């Protein structure tokens, strides 16, 4: 009997395993993959409402990130337009919390009006980051405002005392979905008065009939009159204060390493790009929490609840925390963040990489043996662990001159080559990684103290220039913990004792610069 059953079981395992990963190919990784993926997204785009699907409508932040990258590479205006239309429609819709900031999970209709009211940490991490990137590309203040309001929501509602971030806020309170977020005209009049209340109600499209079970999901259908802007801003603060008196939705207070890594990356990049010291303080606290509380014997843990970290981390935990630490290094110059990112990347490869299949397992060598050890590739509401692993290995490969990291990334990308072409939205973070892989490496070395005003002037130029395929190594000669052992930093010193930036390509650097005008010219390629 065993002789008959075992071959069948092996066949089942083979089929199940093949469905979780690509089959691989010897075909080259070429720019045309990016073009064909873009053309598919262009064909599927909702020209009226933005986004790429019918209801229920999910934000798809990684698809938008890919389009921003494609615009950066090709200057195809349609790619930027698709991002801008989608972000503007979401920002004005009910999927966005118009009073308290932050995004609900998805919209139940085609025009982003009525959401499923649950709020997820990962959605707000990914969306705050894509809004930030869109702001840096377009200079549209709406995108900056949404990025900051979303981060402010996380800091206000989702931050644990020890520095971690909680997972979710429920959709319902008092037994009704969305009750916490809904308004009637009379409730608005009661808060801000009848005269100003009518202005506010008109702005947020609040009616007596309502748009959701007799009440109103706030959304925007028109721009405010210039004289009404200050009234609306004051009213939003007052409405938020009144809403705080309602019974809040429940909160899942698990702290997940992966989702915290995503939030850390968004928070640190926003701190860096927008010069927000308050964000930086919170980002450092979160990075410290991850390293102090979610490592056990050097191995990352998956979850923490009530101060207890447990369960060996999965691939997405490692990859997303590494990305957060790399971004935190850029924001702070802190050498320990980079060292820990490198250490965790080595563990990630040892624990999860499968040389035989050329793909990453979701579970590590330390996990219990499973009947089928999955190798997931699909980017769903958040990036797959595999695509995030590839991205961080590409970054670290170019930062540390680790050719093995880049070879692993290239092999894994080839394994999903056809899937990227067939299902670009479901492999959008892979496409972001492929864009990085196919780019000319832009390596930037910064030498100087982060507290020096001259360094700040140089950093301002870097902060306000969106370079999606750059890697940054920072060294502060006055900081004994700063990283100095990277190849990118070898023989790189300050010029005339001034903070200095080196813009390099495969470790061959242009003339070092100490002023923002020269740096801007080098970044533009002048």
Cα–Cα distance list, 431 to 70, 383, 523 (Å): 10, 11, 23
| Mean pLDDT along residues 215-223 | 95
Contact 52, 41 (CB under 8 A): yes
Shortest CA distance to 484 belongs to which of 400, 404, 403, 405? 400
Residue 409 lies in a domain: yes
447 shares its domain with 428: no
The pLDDT mean for the chain works out to 93
DSSP label at 23?
-
Instruction: Give the domain-ending residue among 438, 467, 496.
Output: 438
184 shares its domain with 158: no
Residue 449 lies in a domain: yes
- Assign 19 a pLDDT band (cuts: 50, 70, 90): very low
Find the domain containing 406 and state its range.
31-171+252-438
For the stretch 70-79, pLDDT in tens is 999 999 999 9
Q: Are strands 168-169 and 255-256 parallel, antiparallel or unpaired?
A: unpaired
Residue 439 to residue 434: CA distance in whole angstroms: 8
155 shares its domain with 262: yes
Residue 16 to residue 161: CA distance in whole angstroms: 42
285 shares its domain with 390: yes
Per-residue pLDDT at 6 exceeds 90: no
Per-residue pLDDT at 108 exceeds 60: yes
Contact 500, 513 (CB under 8 A): yes
Residue 406 lies in a domain: yes
Residue 25 lies in a domain: no
Distance from first CA to last CA of the chain, Å, rounded? Answer: 73
For the stretch 231-267, pLDDT in tens is 999 999 999 999 999 999 999 999 999 999 999 999 9
pTM of the model: 0.94
| Mean pLDDT along residues 98-111 | 98
Residue % of the chain over a pLDDT of 90: 86
Residue 192 lies in a domain: yes
Match 């971030």 to its residue by tokens: 165
Contact 140, 85 (CB under 8 A): no
413 shares its domain with 447: no
Shortest CA distance to 300 belongs to which of 360, 255, 245, 355? 255
Residue 5 lies in a domain: no
Residue 420 lies in a domain: yes
257 shares its domain with 380: yes
For the stretch 311-324, pLDDT in tens is 999 999 999 999 99
378 shares its domain with 336: yes
Task: Give the domain CATH number at 338.
Answer: 1.50.10.10
Residue 473 to residue 488: CA distance in whole angstroms: 7
362 shares its domain with 496: no
Cα-Cα-Cα-Cα dihedral of 364, 368, 373, 376, to 10°? -50
Q: Residue 25's pLDDT is what?
A: 61
| Mean pLDDT along residues 190-216 | 96
177 shares its domain with 187: yes
Instruction: Give the domain-ending residue among 438, 469, 488.
Output: 438
| Mean pLDDT along residues 101-123 | 98
58 shares its domain with 159: yes
Instruction: Give the domain-ending residue among 213, 248, 283.
Output: 248
DSSP-derived 3-state class of residue 367: coil
Number of domains within the chain: 3
Residue 18 lies in a domain: no
Shortest CA distance to 115 belongs to which of 103, 106, 127? 106
109 shares its domain with 123: yes
CA atoms within 13 A on the CB side of 39: 8
Task: Give the domain CATH number at 495.
Answer: 3.40.30
391 shares its domain with 520: no
């Amino acid at each position: 009997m065993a002789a008959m059953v075992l071959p069948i079981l092996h066949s089942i395992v083979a089929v199940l395993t093949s469905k979780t990963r690509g089959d691989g190919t010897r075909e080259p990784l070429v720019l045309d993959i990016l073009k064909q993926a873009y053309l598919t997204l262009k064909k599927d785009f909702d020209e009226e409402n933005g986004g790429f699907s019918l209801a229920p409508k999910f934000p798809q932040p990684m698809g938008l990130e890919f389009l921003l990258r494609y615009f950066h590479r090709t200057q195809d205006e349609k790619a930027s337009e698709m991002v801008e239309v989608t972000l503007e429609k979401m920002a004005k819709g009910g999927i966005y919390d118009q009073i308290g900031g932050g995004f609900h999970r998805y919209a139940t209709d085609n025009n982003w009006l009525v959401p499923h009211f649950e709020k997820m940490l990962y959605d707000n991490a990914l969306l705050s980051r894509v809004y930030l990137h869109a702001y840096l590309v377009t200079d549209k203040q709406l995108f900056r405002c949404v990025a900051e309001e979303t981060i402010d929501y996380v800091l206000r509602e989702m931050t644990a005392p020890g520095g971690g971030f909680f997972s979710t806020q429920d959709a319902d309170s008092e037994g009704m979905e969305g009750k916490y977020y809904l308004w009637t005209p009379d409730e608005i009049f009661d808060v801000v008065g009848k005269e100003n209340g009518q202005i506010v109600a008109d702005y947020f499209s609040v009616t007596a009939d309502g748009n959701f079970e007799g009440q109103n999901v706030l959304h925007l259908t028109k721009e405010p009159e210039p004289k009404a802007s200050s009234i609306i801003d004051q009213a939003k603060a007052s409405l938020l204060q009144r809403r705080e008196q309602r019974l809040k939705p429940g909160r899942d207070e698990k702290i997940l390493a992966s989702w915290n890594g995503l939030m850390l990356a968004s928070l640190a990049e926003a701190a860096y790009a927008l010069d927000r010291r308050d964000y930086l303080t919170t980002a450092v606290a979160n990075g410290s929490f991850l390293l102090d509380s979610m490592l056990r014997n050097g191995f990352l843990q998956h979850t923490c609840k009530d101060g207890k970290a447990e369960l060996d981390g999965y691939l997405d935990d490692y990859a997303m925390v590494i990305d957060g630490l790399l971004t935190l290094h850029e924001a702070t110059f802190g050498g320990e963040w980079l060292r820990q990112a490198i250490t965790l990347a080595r563990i990630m490869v040892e624990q999860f990489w499968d040389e035989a299949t050329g793909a990453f397992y979701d579970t590590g060598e330390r996990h219990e043996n499973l009947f089928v050890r999955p190798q997931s590739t699909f980017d769903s509401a958040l990036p797959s662990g595999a695509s995030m692993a590839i991205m961080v290995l590409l970054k670290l490969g170019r930062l540390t001159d680790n050719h093995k990291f880049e070879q692993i990334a290239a092999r894994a990308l080839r394994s999903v080559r056809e899937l990227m072409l067939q299902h670009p939205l479901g492999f959008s973070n892979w496409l972001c990684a492929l864009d990085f892989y196919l780019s000319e490496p832009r390596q930037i070395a910064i030498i100087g103290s982060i507290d020096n005003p001259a360094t700040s002037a140089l950093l301002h130029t870097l902060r306000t220039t969106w370079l999606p395929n750059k890697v940054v190594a920072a060294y502060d000669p006055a900081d004994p913990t700063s990283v100095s052992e990277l190849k990118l930093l070898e023989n790189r010193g300050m010029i005339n004792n001034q903070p200095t930036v080196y813009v390099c390509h495969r470790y061959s650097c242009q003339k070092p610069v100490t002023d923002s005008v020269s740096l801007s010219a080098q970044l533009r390629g002048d």
